[in-house]
Amino acid sequence: MKRLTTLLLGLSLAVLPMMAQIGDDVDWSFAFVDEEAEIIEDGATVVRNVVEAYDEVSDVIYSGLSVMKLEAQPNDYLKMHYVIEKIDNGAFQICFPITCNTQSQAGTYETSAGQLNGDLQDLQSEWFPIADGECVVTLTIEVMSKQGFFPPNYVHKGWGPTLTLRFVKGDIPGPGPEPTIKGDVNGDGEVTIADVNVVIERILHPDNDVPAADVNNDGEVTIADVNAIIEIILHPASASQTFTANGVSFKMVSVKGGTFTMGATPEQGSEARDNEKPAHQVTLSDFSIGETEVTQALWQAVMGNNPSNFPYDPQMRRPVEMVTWEDCQTFLAKLNQMTGKTFRLPTEAEWEYAARGGNQSKGFIFAGSDQIDEVSWNQGNWITSDWTESDYGEQPVAQKKANELGLFDMSGNVSEWCQDWKGDYSAEPQVNPTGPDNGTYRIMRGGNWSVEATQSRVAYRASIPPTSKSGAIGLRLAL
């Protein structure tokens, strides 16, 4: 990580917490927290993607987490208002758990309201300019209360103090880390028996520092990690790459191509619809697909906003929704610009092949099981009598069982846009089909939290105009 120096003006964030009264029952205090930071005499380095901060009053440079302490009501919502007074070039980005906005020119901006649960909250924040020049930003946070449910209406409750930051010219944090391949312990870009040997050596000599040896991410290095690598070698489709966009990481799972029967296969039984017929043979090349649906966090990191109807998870792990097919194309273009990759929506055939488990398919009705509740959030199980309003809608990704390829929520949660126009099936074998050249409706797959379980079947097809959106439609990446 390269160096970036900031000057915090008008506040002593290290030793003089600033208090401001909001209404009758909300207190704000701003304090720069340095419990885990190092005080460096001759400069500072960027750590954990957090900017350096220079406290003008105490004349000390810190590197660590900048934390705003908020004492508020549990159901309060926050909206961030900021004025970019000056920007030399590039763009400026401000990040909080509730939002991550990027702007490219001076002006006045605000975010949508987002909720933090609990009576006492720490707003861990990051500010950094994506520019090799000077940026001046004034930041204010508004406390909101929510009235109504669907759609919600946010009402002003009070203001916090204003914080002004001046970022001076210097080196800029680089792009996110290079993609990592699961199982590539020795970092040579592939998964082979050499990686098995490295893990065994680490087991025999625990003092060796080999972070990548914990292949299954269970917090320890054991024979289970050896088995995980062997599984990847034997079944390359289980390998994955991790990418990062504006600090938000996501995984793409490699899918080995092959030939499968698409549509109303026997296990779909009497639930199969006419538009799933005739079943037909499809051959696909290798591709990669998102381990999960695109989350609200990733959409926010790329687009600078969260359009979702249900922003109830402070960590923004729920799938994004309220996005049209056309919105998804804009998102993909920006993500590709950030990463240098060519992410896209999956074709309908790719989606169904992946949902069925690719060349490891066990012929399940749903994506990973014949038991709907194991793998799908749908109309029959998404809500119980003790749920509250904040439980409404889609649920955080990857809570249900994964399918044979390690993909989550291919059945249920939110329906997922595909690239194809709607078209009828043909009995003729096809190779890498992409659907009709034009049409009125775009395909979406997978069913969602608001519809009956049968729509979570791997063969079920749905379609709507590309300009339509709802609180139950999102997307999954392909590559």
Q: How far from 278 is each of 252, 272, 411, 426, 430, CA to CA, in Å?
A: 31, 10, 22, 6, 13
- Ordered domains of the chain (ranges, CATH): 6-167 (no CATH), 183-237 (1.10.1330.10), 239-474 (3.90.1580.10)
Beta pairing partners, 473: 415
Strands of 285-390 (E only): list them.
Answer: 287-290
Per-residue pLDDT tens over the stretch 74-84: 667 777 777 77
Per-residue pLDDT tens over the stretch 268-309: 999 999 999 999 999 999 999 999 999 999 999 999 899 998
φ, ψ of residue 113 to 5 degrees: the values are: -75, 140
pLDDT > 90 fraction of the chain, expressed in percent and rounded: 40
pLDDT at 252 over 90: yes
Q: Is-contact 320 425, C-beta < 8 A?
A: no
pLDDT at 319 over 70: yes
pLDDT at 170 over 60: no
What's residue 160's pLDDT? 59
Q: What is the mean pLDDT of residues 368-380?
A: 91
Query: For residues 343 and 288, what is the distance between their CA atoms, to the nearest angstrom?
Result: 9
Query: For residues 370 and 271, what is the distance between their CA atoms, to the nearest angstrom?
Result: 13
pLDDT at 217 over 70: no
Residues ≥6 apart with Cβ < 8 Å to 332: 343, 344, 345, 477
pLDDT at 312 over 70: yes
What's residue 77's pLDDT? 75
User: How many Cβ atoms from other residues are within 10 Å of residue 160's Cβ?
Assistant: 25
Per-residue pLDDT tens over the stretch 42-75: 222 222 223 333 333 333 333 233 444 444 566 6
